[in-house]
Structure 1
Amino acid sequence: MKGTTKLRQLLSEPGMLVAPGAHDVMSARIVEAEGFPAVYLGGFATSASMLGIPDHSLITMTELLEHARNVAAAVNIPIISDIDDAGGTALSARRTIRLAEQAGLAGVHVEDLVPGKHFIGHRDRLFSKTQAADKIKAAVDARTDPDFIIIARSDAIGVTSLDDALERANAYAEAGADLLFLPYLRLHDTRKVVDALSKPLLNVVMDTPRQDLEQAGLKVAIYPVQSLFVAYRAVREMIKELKSAGTIGNLAQRTPTMEEFNEFIGAKEATQLAEKYRIL
């Protein structure tokens, strides 16, 4: 079954879909290995892990999709990916959606933020509601696979107001978006927002219990940065230990064996194939 069909089937089932965030191929493989049915790729995590840069619209669409393509080739679960503003204009969005389909993604979210975003201490800017809705319409029209999921993201809660976010979200739904995404939404507002929206809601989760999210009516929960932050902390602590103690022996209990890691990355299977094809 195609990833797009899998994702649409998951979304048709009752209850909430949990899609943990991955920042690279290995973390996506871990999400799959632990039994989650879908994985999320965020722009923040991709910018940081692939290029070591902040999420200020610096990464190119080519780089975003190259990273997503590598992840999609390594897992057998659907991938939902951040594609920022889909390249700028509605015409750019049409091409970006075609490329996202070719990359093997199952769904993407398109935001209404003007590029040059998330600078500390500065307010983000939004495209007009009409411009953003036209871009969603262009994205929907461009898909060649009817199961490919288009998610419309509005950052209006953090820029203007919740009321503006609701108005924008429903305009994007009318333009054809399959899901809606409203960052900065507080848990106690979620049920009211879900009831006011004409399409299901996907949102960022940090540490809210799953039961509370399901009761609030959330359809998809994504955890965009946690794997990146945990990996950063683990590697930082290992390097600090090596610098201060001159050894990493004290970390042995927290690291996998070579055998365990080789099993995870498929070394045993590769060896069997090498023997089969008489490479060895």
Structure 2
Amino acid sequence: MNTTIALTPKQRLRALAEARRGVLVPGAFNALSARVIEDLGFEAVYITGAGVTNMALGLPDQGFMGLAEMAEHTARIRDAVALPLIVDADTGFGNALNVRHTVRTLERAGADCIQFEDQLAPKRCGHFAGKDVIGIDEAVNKIKAAVDARQDANLLIMARTDACATQGFDAAVERAARFAEAGADILFVEAVTTAEQVRALPARLPKPQLINMVIGGKTPIVGADELADLGYGFVLYANAALQGALLGMQRALGELKATRRLDEGSGLVASFGERQRLVGKPALDALERRYA
């Protein structure tokens, strides 16, 4: 008799973090982008606050997206894919009590890991100028509140610090270490600016870490294999899908504007059939026949 018990998405994500093998995690900005990520064989999805803000509101990542909107996107993506979900919760949308409410809300929506950062509100993209961080004691207490608020002990809490930009690399590492002591499961030092800093982080912090490869951002791009060798748990490409989608739309619509026609064979668009496959139409057709 087969007694194997399948791991939950939260348990799978914890195992991936602890393996420290540089798991590539693309960002999703809606349910369809998450489906593409899963279809291509990636092992986890990051629900990006920047991407959701850009795509849903047409605005930059400067704190315009609220908790209710992120929870709604999380629930939709949870319904669309079975992969573990890491959810960007920005600053927790307020103080420690707001963080507690954020954890309860996003956990109900289907998050497997919730990321909090230590920026002063309103937050900014980690690779923008003009950001600042809250005091270390307040930041630590917000992580403690997040850890205490989870209903499922397997829910992971990721603690991000943006202190590198304003206080320097060593101060950012110290903050991350304090977050680990407060119970954070995964650490994220955002926007380091040199290859030496990228190489140093895994040796200086005890918990599994995520590093963010922002295409065009402040951190030098390093291959995932090298990052795995260094001991990173996750390699985040939060908005690679979004930037690829933007370029794809510009090219396809530019061709339409220039030539006044666009065909499946142009190489600029997915086929009609591929679009229906990704949104699950064959499975729904089978259900329709079953219930007819």
Q: TM-score range by the shorter chain?
A: over 0.9
Query: Which among 164, 178, 182 is matched to residue 189 of structure 2?
Result: 182
Query: Which among 90, 99, 108 is matched to residue 96 of structure 2?
Result: 90
Q: CA RMSD in A?
A: 1.8
Partner of residue 78, structure 1: 84
The two structures have a TM-score, normalised by structure 2, of: 0.90
Partner of residue 74, structure 2: 68
Give how far 1:251 is off.
Answer: 6.2
Query: Which among 246, 259, 265 is matched to residue 279 of structure 2?
Result: 265
Q: Is the Cα–Cα contact under 8 Å of residues 26 and 237 in structure 2 kept in the other structure?
A: yes
Q: Does 1:11 align with 2:17?
A: yes
Partner of residue 202, structure 1: 210
Give how far 1:121 is off.
Answer: 7.5
Distance of aligned partners of 1:92 and 1:155 in 2 relative to their CA distance in 1, 3 Å threshold: same
Q: Following the alignment from structure 1 to structure 2, what is the Cα–Cα distance between the partners of residues 111 and 182? A: 10
Q: Deviations over 1:99-128 (max 9, x none)?
A: 111011110110000112338984211110
Q: Does 1:232 align with 2:246?
A: yes
Query: Which among 194, 199, 204 is matched to residue 191 of structure 1?
Result: 199
Give how far 1:250 is off.
Answer: 8.4
Q: Is the Cα–Cα contact under 8 Å of residues 22 and 225 in structure 2 kept in the other structure?
A: no
Amino acid at match of 2:185: D
Report 1:20-39 matches (<5 A). 20-39=26-45
Q: Following the alignment from structure 2 to structure 1, what is the Cα–Cα distance between the partners of residues 67 and 149? A: 17
Q: Deviations over 1:70-102 (max 9, x none)?
A: 111100010111100011100000010011110
Q: Following the alignment from structure 1 to structure 2, what is the Cα–Cα distance between the partners of residues 221 and 183? A: 12
Amino acid at match of 1:222: L
Q: Is the Cα–Cα contact under 8 Å of residues 56 and 115 in structure 1 kept in the other structure?
A: no
Q: Is the Cα–Cα contact under 8 Å of residues 68 and 103 in structure 1 kept in the other structure?
A: yes
Give how far 1:257 is off.
Answer: 2.3
Q: Which has the higher contact order (CA 8 A, sep 6+)?
A: 2
Q: Is the Cα–Cα contact under 8 Å of residues 20 and 222 in structure 1 kept in the other structure?
A: yes
Q: Following the alignment from structure 2 to structure 1, what is the Cα–Cα distance between the partners of residues 152 and 25? A: 21
Amino acid at match of 2:225: Q
Report 1:94-173 matches (<5 A). 94-118=100-124, 122-173=129-180
Q: Is the Cα–Cα contact under 8 Å of residues 17 and 208 in structure 2 kept in the other structure?
A: no
Q: Following the alignment from structure 1 to structure 2, what is the Cα–Cα distance between the partners of residues 36 and 276? A: 32
Gaps of 5+ in 2: 1-6, 216-220
Q: Is the Cα–Cα contact under 8 Å of residues 24 and 42 in structure 2 kept in the other structure?
A: yes
Q: Is the Cα–Cα contact under 8 Å of residues 21 and 229 in structure 2 kept in the other structure?
A: no
Amino acid at match of 2:95: T
- Which secondary structure state, in structure 2, belongs to the residue aligned with residue 110 of structure 1? strand
Q: Is the Cα–Cα contact under 8 Å of residues 3 and 105 in structure 1 kept in the other structure?
A: no
Gaps of 5+ in 1: none
- Which secondary structure state, in structure 2, belongs to the residue aligned with residue 92 of structure 1? helix
Amino acid at match of 1:215: D
Amino acid at match of 1:37: E
Partner of residue 218, structure 2: none
Q: Following the alignment from structure 2 to structure 1, what is the Cα–Cα distance between the partners of residues 265 and 189? A: 40
Q: Is the Cα–Cα contact under 8 Å of residues 38 and 81 in structure 2 kept in the other structure?
A: yes
Farther off after superposition, 115-124 or 53-62: 115-124
Q: Deviations over 1:34-84 (max 9, x none)?
A: 111111111111101121111111111111121111111100010111100
Q: Is the Cα–Cα contact under 8 Å of residues 183 and 204 in structure 1 kept in the other structure?
A: yes
Count of aligned residue pairs for this structure pair: 278
The two structures have a TM-score, normalised by structure 1, of: 0.94
- Which secondary structure state, in structure 2, belongs to the residue aligned with residue 150 of structure 1? strand
Identity %: 31
